[in-house]
Structure 1
Amino acid sequence: MTLANLVKRLEDIMRADNGIDGTAQRLSQIVWILFLKVFDYKEEEAELDDGYEPVIPQGYRWRDWVPYETATAYRTGDELLDFVNNDLLHVLRGEPTKGADGVERVLFSSESPRALLVKEFMQRTHNYAQNGVQLRQVLDLFEEVDFSDADDTHEFNDVYETMLKSLQGAGKAGEFYTPRAVTSFAIEHIDPRIGETVADFSCGTCGFLVDALRHLEAQVAPGDTEAMEVIQRSLIGQEWKPMPYMLGVTNLMLHGVELPNVTYGDSLARRLLSFEEADCADKIAMNPPYGGITTEANRAAYPAEFRSPESADLFMAQIMTRLKAGGRAVVVLPNGFLEGEDNVRIALKKKLLSEFNLHTVIRMPESVFAPYTSIETNLLFFDNTGSTQETWFYRFDKPQGYKHFSKTKPLTPKHMEVVSEWWDNRVEITDEDTDTYKAKCYSVEELVERNYNLALCGYPTVEEEVLSPEETIAAYRIERERIDADIDAKLAEIERILGIEAGE
């Protein structure tokens, strides 16, 4: 088959199924099916070693119930739906099922790491399909993909990347996808090396970890299997929402990671002072959720000076705690963190400048994450080698001819090349049109004198232009989103002070 047409063919089938509604549900449905196929392929590879036994019990492996040629029972229609909903999913979750003799047994009792990965993954799985014939058509389409063919695998990885990009237009689901241009630039400039761990404690679809994998694999000499095994163990992720967790695990597996080290759970729930050396990483690359309101339990897990209603603030405290000595980090943060002069953000930035070396801040345009959000963001690069002496700020302007990045005109790695060129040859750049700086180095004393306001080399205010009705509506929505986020944060802070739980 032509894999480039796979997504369209899958979506055409799923749109006809009344149980599957919208992009997010289509992706969720695709990902659990894809996971089982890829996992079974990895199991078949492992079986080439003498003595290896597949962890999934016979009858429930992909090869046992999907392929027309080898399945012990080629099911379709209502029979397929009944098997998936009432048998397969329960078994793969490690739940007891009733046999022909009426006795309940746990068929999938293995506690090996591979088995636990399957059980954790399938606990988050839901079969949205209501039409068994169309579900069979979807399964048969996946059967046409041959993961033993390197070209097929490479092309399918590109197809999967395309599917993940579609998350940006999928409402709240878009918060879990970071554009490839951002992840590849970030990883390139923290430069993980073989033997170092790379972590993302809110990993979404694992974009940073996949780029770290590519970066590390490029350092491996041909035939060096030991180095490849080290890399497999070096990627660490955590995600607290089911769909991105599933998408991320499958993403890593598609890129060759045998046993993804991605934990399902809320990393903000753990007490900050309980983290030990084993919980730390050499390199951290993250786009933590921002604009989210933290729970009282999350805030209680952090020292009083860091208890913020803004989730990105708590993640920033955690990142600084979990970055190893000598390690390097890159974090995507909104303008609110740079500008904030409330007690929590002052405390965070004071710690950042006094205990870490914040050497570079890249100011990013407002539409990098559109249409999910149009909040302006920044890439903060710092390392755990000592206190900050000076910080370079650089404003990344949109390419000529771009009013906004969008689904049809997205940010690409090519656009980021101008930033890399400046990175390697840092010079001060004056914006002559506005009498401001596009790039400039500031001493730590200057930053402290500004009361830790790091909003430097920002975007100039432009003269008001007459917008079309469509542009006016888009601009209104962007401004409303910014105001709503500010109001939510202020209300949460007031509720915290008054001891009121959110929503009471």
Structure 2
Amino acid sequence: MAVNNLVKRLQNIMRQDAGVNGDAQRIEQMVWIFFLKVYDAQEEIWECSDSAEPFQSIIPEELRWRNWAHSKDEEGRLIKDAITGEELLSFINGKLFPVLKGQNSINGTIPGIRVSADTPRGKAIVQEVFQEVNQYMKNGTLLRQMIDVVDEIDFNDTTETHTFGDIYESLLKDLQGAGRAGEFYTPRALTDFIIQMLDPKIGERVGDFAMGTGGFLISALEHLRPQLKTAADSQAFQNAVLGQEWKPFPYLLAVTNLLLHGVEHPDLHHTDSLGKPMATYHDKSQKVDVIAMNPPYGGSTEASVKQNFRTEFRSSETADLFMVLIMERLARYGRAGVIVPDGFLFGTDGTKLAIKQHLLRNFNLHTIIRLPGSIFSPYTSIATNVLFFDNDRADDAPEEYATKEVWFYRMDMPEGYKHFSKTKPMLLTHAEPIREWWSNRREIVNEENGDDKSRCFSVEEIMQSDCDFDRCKFPKDEEEVLPPKELLENYYAKRRQLEHQIDKTLQEIQDILGFKIDIDAK
């Protein structure tokens, strides 16, 4: 099915309805419809399982998608008594939503669904989803049209299982306004590449604590699926991923997405990953073997959240705090691949410096991949990088360090591309040169102009530079013109870096001369 065409059809229907206003409400309207369609397909699988006990849906029979949503039979003929118009609105607003939200009773006949600590995760999700969403549409005929469009998708058809994963991203691209919907999302090719480099195995858990709609988790599941050989493998697959997301609609889409990809009881949580003291994660049960993430960046967090971190790690920037969280939650001998903005690489303020020093002293930061600025187009032109590190000590690492050396590699634009774009996004094949280099690492330097595409630096060299990770930069003529806000953010970050270097040089001069000047007094 053509995803772009599907999204446009749904948008066109909602634009005609007076009750739906703006991108957020369009997404919310789509969430519950997609969820019920996907959940019904999952229930068909549960019904056909070899379980000793017959499957019993948590949704009352008359409210299950199969019993009210179809307007056509399997032969494509119209169903005469299919509800629409005011009858459909009355059914959804007065019966479906109240019951699934858990109201006591509807007209004294249908009790609201109940969830307890003993309710299986796969069933409890239903009430969780409907606690978060609303039904905005006021025109029952248009609502029927929207339900019919979604009903065309056969989520039991393996050729269409990727359709859902593309829908939200396609909507954002079509709207050309990721910021209006909340955040931008990692290209599938990039999530697949990072997962391939981390190479999770059956029996390991993969975590993403800012998962969005679950892109990294889906890539991990697809990487693990070919490894399934036994019943024990299949059970391990069910418990292979752990996700957290604090924005409600990406979270609900992630839940639906994992159901669609065969995870019956998704271990996903609607929570602020930064909202707990880091001491909470000291227990081994809170650790994961593999972490793949694109944490939010460019934003700030509340002062109360910063209190959850050690004093030297307290930052107003979410990207910094997530780096601390990731290091805290990575299991011993675990592996991480994390996307960070350029500001983290060249930042030398006290917090960033402390975080990077902690990373080098306690983890093996072995690789940094510099990514083209347009890789997230059309969402943002912020320059980003992937940090790969292990919770282990590199062989022959200097005393007091877990890192021995850091390799830098710059991913240049593929031949024939000036920039990535909506119509020419990154493809997995574009990462092939990185994979080849990964297995046979070597420094790559242009002898004519000294341009470094790949170089290796010892941990001592990096520490002496105040943890400057800003190596193997893109040539000046390939730098993009940034929007004013991003330009200013980079300017202030680089100014702080320069001021720090000046202060350090002045301190060294004063140490040599044997006296100190109180600059503030001057």
TM-score range, shorter chain: 0.7 to 0.9
By how many angstroms is 1:193 displaced? Answer: 0.1
**Which residue in the other structure is 2:6 paired with?**
6
Q: Residue type of the partner of 1:254?
A: L
8 Å CA contact 1:198, 1:282 repeated in 2: yes
Label 1:147 to 1:158 Cα distance change in 2 as closer, same or farther (>3 A): closer
By how many angstroms is 1:60 displaced? Answer: 2.0
* 2:212 is the alignment partner of 1:207: no
**Which residue in the other structure is 1:20 paired with?**
20
CA distance in 2, matches of 1:98, 1:318: 45
- In the alignment, which of 285, 292, 297 is matched to residue 285 of structure 1? 292
Label 1:368 to 1:395 Cα distance change in 2 as closer, same or farther (>3 A): same
**Which residue in the other structure is 1:243 paired with?**
249
* 2:143 is the alignment partner of 1:128: no
**Which residue in the other structure is 1:234 paired with?**
240
- In the alignment, which of 48, 55, 59 is matched to residue 56 of structure 1? 59
CA distance in 2, matches of 1:252, 1:293: 29
TM alignment of 1:148-159, pairs within 5 A? 148-150=156-158, 154-158=159-163
* 2:393 is the alignment partner of 1:382: no
8 Å CA contact 1:34, 1:142 repeated in 2: yes
**Which residue in the other structure is 1:350 paired with?**
357
By how many angstroms is 1:415 displaced? Answer: 1.2
Label 1:421 to 1:208 Cα distance change in 2 as closer, same or farther (>3 A): same
Q: Which moves more between the two structures, 277-286 or 37-46?
A: 37-46
**Which residue in the other structure is 1:109 paired with?**
114
The gaps in structure 2 that reach 5 residues or longer are 74-78, 394-401, 497-522
Partner-residue secondary structure (3-state), 1:267: coil
**Which residue in the other structure is 1:340 paired with?**
347
Partner-residue secondary structure (3-state), 2:62: coil
CA distance in 2, matches of 1:480, 1:148: 45
Partner-residue secondary structure (3-state), 1:415: helix
8 Å CA contact 1:198, 1:209 repeated in 2: yes
TM alignment of 1:215-230, pairs within 5 A? 215-221=223-229, 224-230=230-236
Alignment RMSD, CA only? 2.7
8 Å CA contact 1:306, 1:314 repeated in 2: yes
Q: Residue type of the partner of 1:251?
A: N
CA distance in 2, matches of 1:159, 1:463: 35
**Which residue in the other structure is 1:92 paired with?**
100
CA distance in 2, matches of 1:12, 1:194: 43
CA distance in 2, matches of 1:176, 1:227: 34
Q: Residue type of the partner of 1:256?
A: G
By how many angstroms is 1:431 displaced? Answer: 2.7
Label 1:449 to 1:487 Cα distance change in 2 as closer, same or farther (>3 A): closer
Label 1:490 to 1:436 Cα distance change in 2 as closer, same or farther (>3 A): closer
By how many angstroms is 1:489 displaced? Answer: 13
1:446-485 CA-to-partner distances (Å, cap 9, x unmatched) read: 0101011111111122399xxxxxxxxx93x524333157
By how many angstroms is 1:34 displaced? Answer: 1.2
1:372-411 CA-to-partner distances (Å, cap 9, x unmatched) read: 2211000000001120001100011112343321112211
**Which residue in the other structure is 2:267 paired with?**
261
**Which residue in the other structure is 2:517 paired with?**
none
**Which residue in the other structure is 2:506 paired with?**
none
**Which residue in the other structure is 2:46 paired with?**
46
By how many angstroms is 1:488 displaced? Answer: 11
Larger radius of gyration, structure 1 or 2? 2
Label 1:163 to 1:318 Cα distance change in 2 as closer, same or farther (>3 A): closer
By how many angstroms is 1:11 displaced? Answer: 3.1
Label 1:95 to 1:177 Cα distance change in 2 as closer, same or farther (>3 A): farther
**Which residue in the other structure is 1:502 paired with?**
none
8 Å CA contact 1:288, 1:315 repeated in 2: yes
8 Å CA contact 2:405, 2:459 repeated in 1: yes
Q: Which moves more between the two structures, 172-181 or 14-23?
A: 14-23
Q: Which moves more between the two structures, 16-25 or 263-272?
A: 16-25
**Which residue in the other structure is 1:81 paired with?**
89
Q: Which moves more between the two structures, 436-445 or 5-14?
A: 5-14
Label 1:162 to 1:92 Cα distance change in 2 as closer, same or farther (>3 A): closer
**Which residue in the other structure is 1:29 paired with?**
29
8 Å CA contact 1:434, 1:460 repeated in 2: no
8 Å CA contact 2:246, 2:271 repeated in 1: yes
Q: Residue type of the partner of 2:467?
A: Y
TM alignment of 1:102-501, pairs within 5 A? 106-111=111-116, 112=119, 113-150=121-158, 154-158=159-163, 160-168=165-173, 169-172=176-179, 173=181, 175-221=183-229, 224-275=230-281, 276-386=283-393, 387-462=402-477, 475=481, 478-484=483-489
CA distance in 2, matches of 1:234, 1:181: 21
8 Å CA contact 1:368, 1:405 repeated in 2: yes
By how many angstroms is 1:413 displaced? Answer: 1.1
By how many angstroms is 1:433 displaced? Answer: 5.0
Partner-residue secondary structure (3-state), 2:274: helix
Partner-residue secondary structure (3-state), 1:462: helix
8 Å CA contact 1:327, 1:385 repeated in 2: yes
Label 1:174 to 1:184 Cα distance change in 2 as closer, same or farther (>3 A): farther
By how many angstroms is 1:81 displaced? Answer: 1.9
CA distance in 2, matches of 1:176, 1:329: 21
Q: Which moves more between the two structures, 361-370 or 35-44?
A: 35-44
8 Å CA contact 2:343, 2:490 repeated in 1: no
Q: Residue type of the partner of 1:378?
A: N
Q: Residue type of the partner of 1:85?
A: N
8 Å CA contact 1:293, 1:488 repeated in 2: no
8 Å CA contact 1:87, 1:97 repeated in 2: no
Partner-residue secondary structure (3-state), 1:385: coil
By how many angstroms is 1:74 displaced? Answer: 3.5
Label 1:23 to 1:413 Cα distance change in 2 as closer, same or farther (>3 A): farther
1:212-269 CA-to-partner distances (Å, cap 9, x unmatched) read: 0000002123xx3331221111110000001111221122122222121110010100
CA distance in 2, matches of 1:446, 1:407: 40
Label 1:253 to 1:72 Cα distance change in 2 as closer, same or farther (>3 A): farther
**Which residue in the other structure is 1:496 paired with?**
none
CA distance in 1, matches of 2:258, 2:277: 28
8 Å CA contact 1:10, 1:138 repeated in 2: yes
TM-score by length of 2: 0.84
Q: Which moves more between the two structures, 67-76 or 297-306?
A: 67-76
